[in-house]
Amino acid sequence: MSKGLPKRSDDYSAWYNELVKKADLAENSAVRGCMVIKPYGFSIWEKMQAELDRMFKETGHTNAYFPLFIPKSYLSREADHVEGFAKECAVVTHYRLKNSADGDGVVVDPDAKLEEELIVRPTSETVIWSTYKNWIQSYRDLPLLINQWANVVRWEMRTRLFLRTAEFLWQEGHTAHATKQEAWDESVQMMHVYAEFAESFMGVPVIRGIKSESERFAGAEETFCIEALMQDGKALQAGTSHFLGQNFAKAFDVKFADKEGKLDLVWGTSWGVSTRLMGALIMAHSDDEGLVLPPKLAPIQVVIVPIYRKEEERIAVSEKANELVKQLRAVGLSVKFDDRDTHKPGWKFAEYEMKGVPVRLAMGPKDLEKGTVEVARRDTKEKSFVPADDALTQYVLDLLDDIQKNIYDRALKHREELTTPVDTYDEFKRILDEKTGFVLAHWDGTAETEEKIKQETKATIRCIPMDAPEEEGVCIYSGKPSTKRVIFARAY
RNA sequence: CGGGAUGUAGCGCAGCCCGGUAGCGCGCUUCGUUCGGGACGAAGAGGCCGCAGGUUCGAAUCCUGUCAUCCCGACCA
C-alpha cells in the first residue's frame, strides 16, 4: 500500500476514489461500470445487511427471491415505470454461444435468439407483481410483506465506486395491502426504519421527506426518502420508500376479495437501500488519513498492535495481548491482534487508520512494566495510556459508544452549518456556489420552476421535509405564493 | 452520442519533437541492521512499449487504421 491520500480540500473527488481503493473497500473491474467489492468493504456491507435485515423482520417482513431476468413485455405493463427505466436496461437476446468460424474464440449463435428478450432487472416490481397476482385472492392473504436481497443492473453512463455503478447490491421490499391507509403507513414506516438505521448505525443524520413529482420513482404515487449531506456540501439520497397506490395492481391485475366478497385492487409499496450507503458512510465521516467507521458497522472494532525488539519482548507482549483479546471478545467485541512480524508498528498504525478501525491498542515493553496499554481513537486521533486490567473492557466499550456518538454529532453539526434558508434567487445561487449544502427555499410547487432552477443552477429539490413548518412565503423563482420551504442542493 | 486526453513492469510515471542497449519511484524477492508513527543498506526478479498494418537497414519513438480507458457535457439509487 502506497502512502497518503489526496487532501479533501484539494480534490474531494480524487480523495474519495483513492480512499475507496486504499482502504481496500472496492476496485474497478474488467467490466466497465461494475465494481469488485473487496473483502474488507464487503464485511461492512454485511454488517449493514445484518442490521437492516433484523429491522425488516422486526417489522414483520420475510425474505424471498425473485429472478434476475424479466420478460420484456412485463416492463411495458406500467407506462410510467417503463418510461423511467427503459434507457438504462441491459437486454438478453440469445441463450447460446458457439465456436467462431475462424476457430478463434466464441461467437453468439444467431440460431439461439430468444423469442422474447429478457431484461436484467433494474428493479423487480414487475416480476414480483406478476407473481403476487397468483398469491393474492382474499383479504386473508394480505398484507403480503416481502423483501429480497439482490443485485440489479442500471446501465449508467458515468459511474463511481459505490455511488453509482452499473450493477449494484440492494434490498427491495415489496408489500401488498388491503387498504390505501395501510400501504401508505407501510411506506412511511420504512422511511423511518431507514432513517433510524442511517442515524443510529451509520452515524449519518438524514432528512426525512417527500420527493417532488419529477424526482419521484417511476410508477409511484408518492416517494418518501432520506437525504444526507456529505462533507463537500453535496446531497446524497440514501434510501427511498414508495407508495405505489394501485398502479402495479392495475397493471398486473392483482385483486382480492374483501370481507363482503367484493373484488378490489390491492395497494402496494416498495422500498430500497443499496451499496450506495457505503458511499454515504465513507463520505460522511472519513478524513485525510483515511476511513472513519462507526463502531457499530466496523468489521474490526479494536485492533491490537504489539511493539517489541527482541524475541523475548515479542513473546511477553503477545502473551499479554492475547489475554486482552480474550477479555474483549468475551463481551462480543470484534478484535484483531495484528502480530504479523512482516510490518513495523508505524506501518500498522497508518494502515488501520486508513481502514478506519475505531480503536487501536498499542502495547510494548514499557507498557508491560507499567501495566498499561496505549489507547488511540480513530475519530479524534487522541491517545491515552490506560491500565491494562479488567476495567479496560468497560473503558473500551464506553469509548466505542463515545466514538459512535461523536461522529454522529460531528456530522449533524456539519449539516446544520451547511443548511441555509434563502428568500431570493440571487441569494440562492450565491449560497449554492460559495457555501454549498442544503438550501431551504420557497417553491411554487410546479415541475416547470423546478426544471428551470435545475437547468440554471444544477440544484435539484432533494425533498419536501416531513417536518417542514407551515410558513407563508413566495417562490424564489416565480414569486408565486408558497406555504413551506423545500430543500434544494446539488446532489450525487 | 458531442468535446478533450491517455494507453510503456503489479501500481504511478518518464522516454516519443530529434528512430539506434527500455528507464525512474513505489511495491515484490533474499540477506543484514532495525522495530513506541508508513525504517535503512546491499544484492536480485519482473516488459510482445494497447492491437494491426505501413515507412525504414533498424520503430516505444514517424504514418494509417483500430480497440480500450479516463475527464468534461445530456441521463441517473
A119 pLDDT above the threshold of 70:
yes
| Separation of alpha carbons A277 and A262, rounded Å | 43
Which residue from A149, A122, A137 is spatially nearest to A53, judged by alpha carbons?
A149
Residue A53 — very low, low, confident or very high, per pLDDT cuts 50/70/90? very high
> Does this complex have an ipTM over 0.95?
no
- Contacts with A137 (C-beta within 8 Å, 6 or more apart), sequence order: A256, A257
CA pair distance A437, A207, nearest whole angstrom: 13
Domain with CATH 3.40.50.800 in chain A: 300-399
CATH 3.30.930.10 fits A12-70+128-285, yes or no: yes
The boundaries of every CATH 3.30.110.30 domain in chain A are 419-489
Between CA A286 and CA A18 the distance in angstroms is 12
The residue type of A295 is P
**Nearest nucleotide (CA of A22 to C1'):** B11
Distance CA(A124)–CA(A441), nearest Å, equals 35
3-state helix, strand, coil in chain A (%, to 5): 40, 30, 35
Sheet of A207-210: strand order equals: A62-63, A144-153, A167-177, A267-274, A235-245, A222-229, A207-210, A460-465, A485-489, A438-442, A419-421
Reported as a single tens digit per residue, the pLDDT across A60-80 is 999 999 999 999 999 989 888
The chain-wide mean pLDDT, for chain A, equals 94
Task: Report the distance separating Cα A300 and Cα A338, nearest Å.
Answer: 11
State the CATH architecture for A419-489: 2-Layer Sandwich (3.30)
Q: Which nucleotide is nearest to A21 (CA to C1')?
A: B11
Q: List pLDDT tens digits, range A415-458.
A: 999 999 999 999 999 999 899 999 999 999 999 999 999 988 98
Q: How confident is the model at residue A2 (pLDDT cuts 50, 70, 90)?
A: very low
| Protein residue closest to B10, using CA and C1' | A1
Q: How far is CA A407 from CA A234, A293, A380, in A?
A: 18, 9, 9
d(CA A100, CA A105): 6
Mean pLDDT over A249-263 rounds to 97
Average pLDDT of span A20-28: 90
For residue A171 the three cell numbers come to 434490498
Does domain A300-399 bear CATH number 3.40.50.300?
no
Task: Give the per-residue pLDDT at A1.
Answer: 40
Q: Which nucleotides of B are covered by protein (CB under 7 A)?
A: 1, 11, 26-27, 34-39, 68-77
SS3 letters across A137-167: CEHHHCCEEEEEEEEEECCCCCCECCCECCE
Å: A44 CA to B8 C1': 37
